[in-house]
Structure 1
Amino acid sequence: MDINKAYSLIMNKLTTWFENFVKLLPNLVIAALIIVLGFFIAKVMERFALKMVQRISRLHTVNKLFASFVYFVVVGIALFTALDVLNLDKAVTTALAGAGILGLALAFAFQDIASNFISGIFMSFRRPFNVGDLVELGTYKGRIDAINLRDTALTTLQGQRLIIPNKQVFQNPILNYSSSGIRRLDMKIGVSQGDDLEKVRALTIETVSGIEERNSAKDVEFYYEEFADSCINFKLRIWLKDTEQKTYLTARSKAIILIKKAYDEAGFTLPFPIRTLDFAMKGGQSLSEVPLKIESISA
């Protein structure tokens, strides 16, 4: 008797499950179609997003990341729609709420990594520099080797490889020597106050105009700036052919040698600091007027 009762309960349960399955079958078919269609649309959107983002970003890693993000968003929408058709959206929402709390905790734990990652994404769109550019990042100067999501690698002018977190790069001034394609050499020089300033100007411009590294399309610029303690200072500006650091250093070295030689031949003076020593009790008295007292030391 108990066996028959158990059998009856099992059959009733199976019958109920079968009836529910039959009722749910149309929804299962619709949900399956939504998922298949969602994956297809997600793939199309991924390709489209990749083409669009490549127009504004040259960082391949960021481009792939953005395209993958679009793909998973579309797939997620399709999955949620399918679960809603199956009346399972509430259970998934509860699970996602728990995952959100876990994600928030992880975000606090890895906030430095996240900030570097986000800075890398912003930099890929701003494009303050490209691989191969000569840049100055804060106190560091060198040539960019690689731009990653988390950090930027450059080789310093001394040949060392330097890795800088993207957060530090993004939050500090960036000086790019290569972006404009031109570079200027600025030199501050002083001449004696007794020299003919017009002749100094003409001779200096003529002397540096023949430097091979100079950009002949731009004139040499010469400006007197100030009366200093023992000289008159002027600013000399020479535009260069390219932005290479070697070109800059070579042009500066040649300019110093040529100017020194030309001034020596012309009799112009490159002053050096002068100090006046007053040995008298009264200001303005010459050293020859001061009586000297020499004491002998007996053994």
Structure 2
Amino acid sequence: MDYLKTLQEQVDSMVMGTVATLPSIAVALVVVAITWLAARLASRIATRIVEKTGIRNDLKQLFRTFARLGVWITGLLIAAAVVMPGLTPASLVAGLGVGALAIGFAFQDIFENFLAGVLILLRDKMQIGDVIEAEGILGKVEKITLRETHIRQLSGELTILPNSMIFKNPVKIVTDIALRRNELVVGVSYDTDLPMAEATIRKAVESVEEVASDRAVEIYAQEFGASSIDFTVRWWADSRLHDFLGVKSKVVFAIKRALDDAKIEIPYPHVTHTYAGLPPAAGQENQPT
């Protein structure tokens, strides 16, 4: 057998086949270019349509993505049919059936994040602009795509989480409702008139403008501390209009000022120092740390 002659015939056959398909490849490239233009046009049309509706911004993005995706799938199928005239929907389904398992394993994470992104965009909760806590990350949702979610942390850093992590794990939506409750512990000395202290603290908290006036301020005497009787103070504020920590700071200022004006002491614990098991020196028994 003349191996060189057989190899040459095979190469010539491949070259002739490639030359014969060049016109089809050129037409397919033209179809791809037209598909690219059509996808941009479809995105603009979808944008104009959804802008006239009252749906959320993230859903508008989802519809634009599906419009582009639908045009691209159609265009690529037409281009494949031009290059391979024998390609039919039945043969395409059969081919996908053969390779679906391998493709599924290879792109499992991509498909999972894509499907999770669609489901996240379709549900009502967790919209763009919400402050959420997911996987230990607290921040504002800046962008939701079909693959990932962009979260701007309150300290300024941008964190990108795969959609599957957000969809499969618990997510705390901090701004689901406008009003949020905050609290702090206030200690007063043991010789304080407790009803007077409670009234003073309540009046101080209610004087803060950012505290919601339609929600009652809650004050509870909780326990006998080492050097004080502790009150738990709770109030509500609109977290979308006001800085959550800023409101708490104003409440602390108001309570401190009111207790000082009422001559109510906020004690601090006194610690007795010992050194190497020896008793404290004279005059050091009640020195603060």
TM-score normalised per structure 2: 0.63
Paired residue type of 2:178: G
The aligned counterpart of 1:97 is 94
Does residue 137 (structure 1) correspond to residue 137 (structure 2)? The answer is no
Residues matched between the structures, number: 222
The aligned counterpart of 2:257 is 261
Secondary structure of 2:236's counterpart equals strand
Residues 172 and 179 (structure 1), Cα distance of their counterparts in 2 relative to 1, 3 Å cut? same
Does residue 194 (structure 1) correspond to residue 178 (structure 2)? The answer is no
The aligned counterpart of 2:229 is 232
The structure having more radius of gyration, on CA atoms, is 1
The aligned counterpart of 1:62 is 62
Does residue 273 (structure 1) correspond to residue 269 (structure 2)? The answer is yes
Alignment identity in percent? Answer: 31
Mapped to 2, the partners of 1:111 and 1:229 lie a distance apart of 58
Paired residue type of 1:235: T
Residues 247 and 68 (structure 1), Cα distance of their counterparts in 2 relative to 1, 3 Å cut? closer
Residues 102 and 178 (structure 1), Cα distance of their counterparts in 2 relative to 1, 3 Å cut? same
1:65 Cα deviation after fit: 6.0
Mapped to 2, the partners of 1:254 and 1:273 lie a distance apart of 25
1:192 Cα deviation after fit: 2.2
Alignment partner of 1:114 out of 88, 105, 111: 111
- State how 1:239-250 maps to structure 2 within 5 Å: 239-244=236-241, 247-250=243-246
Does residue 154 (structure 1) correspond to residue 151 (structure 2)? The answer is yes
Mapped to 2, the partners of 1:121 and 1:147 lie a distance apart of 10
Cα RMSD after superposing both structures: 3.9
Mapped to 2, the partners of 1:116 and 1:267 lie a distance apart of 60
Mapped to 2, the partners of 1:66 and 1:95 lie a distance apart of 22
Mapped to 1, the partners of 2:134 and 2:116 lie a distance apart of 15
Mapped to 1, the partners of 2:182 and 2:124 lie a distance apart of 26
TM-score normalised per structure 1: 0.61
Mapped to 1, the partners of 2:70 and 2:222 lie a distance apart of 58
Paired residue type of 2:158: R
Residues 231 and 106 (structure 1), Cα distance of their counterparts in 2 relative to 1, 3 Å cut? same
Residues 136 and 95 (structure 1), Cα distance of their counterparts in 2 relative to 1, 3 Å cut? closer
Mapped to 1, the partners of 2:89 and 2:140 lie a distance apart of 50
Deviation digits for residues 161-215 of structure 1 (CA, Å, limit 9, x no counterpart): 2222111212232222322121222112222233221111000001121112111
Residues 145 and 110 (structure 1), Cα distance of their counterparts in 2 relative to 1, 3 Å cut? same
Residues 62 and 241 (structure 1), Cα distance of their counterparts in 2 relative to 1, 3 Å cut? closer
Mapped to 2, the partners of 1:205 and 1:141 lie a distance apart of 31
1:150 Cα deviation after fit: 0.7
Secondary structure of 1:59's counterpart equals helix
Deviation digits for residues 231-289 of structure 1 (CA, Å, limit 9, x no counterpart): 22222112114435x5222211111122122222323222323334679x9xxx9987x
Mapped to 1, the partners of 2:134 and 2:180 lie a distance apart of 17
Mapped to 2, the partners of 1:72 and 1:253 lie a distance apart of 54
The aligned counterpart of 1:165 is 162
Mapped to 1, the partners of 2:280 and 2:141 lie a distance apart of 61
Judge conservation of contact 2:58–2:144 (CA < 8 Å) in 1. no
